[in-house]
Amino acid sequence: MIKDSNLSIKSVFNDDVEFQWESSQSKEYSTTLKGLFHIYKEEKSHYKLLEVSFSLPYLIKQSRKKGLKVLDITNAVIEKVRNNIVGEGLLIKKNNLKFYMYGQIQKWIESLQEICIQINFHEDFFLYRLISNSQQSKVYFAEDRITKIDYAIKVFEKNQFEQEIGAKALKQEIEILRLLKNDYFTKLLKTYEGNQAVYLVFEQQKGGDLQRFLKENDNTLPEKTAFQAIKQLLEGISLMHNLNYMHRDLKPENILLKNKDSLEDLIISDLGLAEKVNNEKNQLFTLCGTPGYVAPEVLKKQPYDQKVDIYGIGIILYTLLTGKNPFQSIIKDETLELNMIGNVNTDKINCSELGKDLLKQLLQLSPNRRPNAQQALRHQYFRNQSSLQIFPKQSIIISKPKFDSIHSEQVSPLTPNLNFDKFKATQIQPQYLRQATPRLDIYQKNNANLMKKFRKAS
């Protein structure tokens, strides 16, 4: 087991801003929790009985002298504490502030963990299999020590952060994950922090990813199956775009399956490159993504917006129908050059004319001529089908029981240090090893240097 120590150093979620309770005249808070607690006043070394309530993301307290006060506890560190006088309690820490509340706290921890940071990750979870490994993070399968339920854990080692950029990117990824509370995206359940790493806890998707599914099904899918997958991606990405964010790294490896032999429930994952859409006065030029799936305007260092995701979905559709990437080449620089030109020949694709028309629209070189997600969903290809007739279940389930249970070869606990690379386990089965593709450097000086692997925040 990794013996990552409790958080005794400054949290990466802290900043230098003074953090304090603020007076509020509002009476419109929708409280989900309320209770009487013994509040410990550290500066006066005494306890005071006070009613505290919670209305996401605020703690709320009210006193006769000072009236209603609120505290935004987003990314505050929470920790169980115990006192011989008043029993079990909860410590909430953020920047310069500490708030102790003693009483019935279990329901509070369950509610606050949605927006707060917990410690003692390894007391709660057992890591048993490495799934993927990149420069920025590692993903493991883990088991909850109490419930025995499996989860996916994304681990960010702090010594890999690039000064403030890494912490900023992590906080933004967490912020976006908390906003996207729907069935189309990976659900962030809890966040932990230790002295050496930050741990994001997700639901475990046991079906692998879309890339694996393709390989197990001769690299191509029937037309109806392919378009059912694309319809789900468009529906999910539409919800993200409505919140004014874009993904910027859509590809088969980042599309997860809830069930390994079915494309009925696809999950969009890896929001590490997701970004808020800027206004016209501050347009995005950031160079990032995966060669072969990047919109041409990104590679040409032109300003871009959410239409880059539409192009990426178009490339995924082409790949599902043909079994290959349209810019595929054994020479990396050639892949990049073809991707930058962006021309995709759809004439020889074995697909209906309406399907080809939608594909061509998704792959328009000019972002202004590409549909947005909602417009694509209103395309005649989808409108021709009634809600009851669209893609019968048998067309999107391919039953090939080729895989063993993920628990068939559980490995021993990790060694008591945080050097993940020295973790010696049984060989990972190919279907559970996600093959990451290199990402583009966002700070490049010329096109000849485009294939360097990196990933930084905007």
Classify burial at 438, counting beta carbons within 10 Å of its beta carbon; exposed 0-12, middle 13-18, buried 19 or more. middle
pLDDT category at 397 given cuts 50, 70, 90 is: very low
pLDDT score for 280: 59
pLDDT score for 412: 25
pLDDT category at 279 given cuts 50, 70, 90 is: low
Number of independent structural domains in the chain: 3
Q: Would you call the peptide bond into 252 cis, given omega within 30 degrees of 0 as the criterion?
A: no
**Domain of 40, in residue numbers:** 22-112
Instruction: Specify the DSSP class assigned to residue 217.
Output: T
Same domain, 260 and 385: yes
CATH number at residue 377: 1.10.510.10
11: which 2 tokens?
């949290």
pLDDT score for 452: 43
Classify burial at 264, counting beta carbons within 10 Å of its beta carbon; exposed 0-12, middle 13-18, buried 19 or more. middle
* DSSP per-residue letters across 26-91: ------SEEEEEEEEETTTTEEEEEEEEEETTEEEEEETTTEEEEEE-TT-EEEEEEETTTEEEEE
Same domain, 256 and 392: yes
pLDDT category at 2 given cuts 50, 70, 90 is: low
Task: Give the mean pLDDT of the chain.
Answer: 82
- The yes-or-no answer on residue 209 being catalytic is no
Q: Which residue has the higher pLDDT, 16 or 257?
A: 257
Same domain, 272 and 142: no
Lowest mean pLDDT among 161-170, 208-217, 290-299, 395-404: 395-404
pLDDT > 90: percent of the chain: 61
pLDDT score for 15: 85
Taking only the tens place, the pLDDT of each residue in 225-264 is: 999 999 999 999 999 999 999 999 999 999 999 988 889 9
Does the annotation list 253 as a binding residue?
A: yes
Same domain, 48 and 156: no
CATH number at residue 97: 2.30.29.30
Lowest mean pLDDT among 13-22, 42-51, 127-136, 277-286: 277-286
pLDDT score for 441: 39
Does the annotation list 154 as a binding residue?
A: yes
Assess contact for 93 and 100: CB atoms under 8 A. no
pLDDT category at 443 given cuts 50, 70, 90 is: very low
Last residue of a domain, one of 71, 86, 112: 112
313 has a pLDDT exceeding 90: yes
HSE on the CB side for 292, CA within 13 Å?
21
CATH number at residue 126: 3.30.200.20
Lowest mean pLDDT among 256-270, 361-375, 444-458: 444-458
Does residue 216 sit within a domain?
Answer: yes
Q: Which residue has the higher pLDDT, 169 or 434?
A: 169
308: which 2 tokens?
């880059």
pLDDT category at 426 given cuts 50, 70, 90 is: very low
Closest alpha carbon to 372 in 318, 308, 280: 308
pLDDT score for 260: 84
Taking only the tens place, the pLDDT of each residue in 82-121 is: 988 899 999 999 998 999 999 999 999 999 999 999 999 9
Same domain, 179 and 299: no
Same domain, 183 and 228: no
Cα three-residue angle 137-141-144, rounded to 5 degrees: 120
Does the annotation list 270 as a binding residue?
A: yes
pLDDT score for 402: 34
Does residue 75 sit within a domain?
Answer: yes
pLDDT score for 456: 41
335: which 2 tokens?
């892949």
Across the range 296-317, mean pLDDT stands at: 96
Lowest mean pLDDT among 88-92, 311-315, 399-403: 399-403
Phi, psi angles (nearest 5°) of residue 433 = -100, 105
Give the list of residues 6+ apart from residue 259 with CB closer than 8 angstroms, or none.
206, 207, 265
pLDDT score for 172: 92
Does residue 370 sit within a domain?
Answer: yes
Across the range 148-170, mean pLDDT stands at: 87
Same domain, 442 and 305: yes
Closest alpha carbon to 169 in 291, 286, 4, 16: 286
One-letter identity of residue 24: S
Last residue of a domain, one of 112, 144, 166: 112
Does residue 3 sit within a domain?
Answer: no
Same domain, 35 and 69: yes
Same domain, 108 and 150: no
Closest alpha carbon to 228 in 260, 261, 256, 265: 265
Q: d(Cα 77, Cα 69) in Å, to the nearest integer? A: 20
Same domain, 237 and 368: yes
Q: d(Cα 239, Cα 184) in Å, to the nearest integer? A: 9
Q: Which residue has the higher pLDDT, 433 or 69?
A: 69
Taking only the tens place, the pLDDT of each residue in 194-226 is: 999 999 999 999 899 999 999 998 888 999 999
Same domain, 366 and 307: yes
Does residue 106 sit within a domain?
Answer: yes
Does residue 241 sit within a domain?
Answer: yes
Q: d(Cα 115, Cα 57) in Å, to the nearest integer? A: 7
Q: Which helix (H) or strand (E) holds 334?
A: helix 332-341
Lowest mean pLDDT among 10-24, 212-226, 267-281, 380-394: 380-394
Cα distances (Å, whole numbers) of residue 232 to 202, 208, 266? 20, 17, 7
pLDDT score for 75: 96
pLDDT score for 133: 87
420 has a pLDDT exceeding 50: no
Question: Which is the catalytic residue, given 150, 209, 249, 309?
Answer: 249
Same domain, 163 and 216: no
Does residue 236 sit within a domain?
Answer: yes
Does residue 9 sit within a domain?
Answer: no
Last residue of a domain, one of 112, 137, 167: 112
Does the annotation list 421 as a binding residue?
A: no
32 has a pLDDT exceeding 80: yes
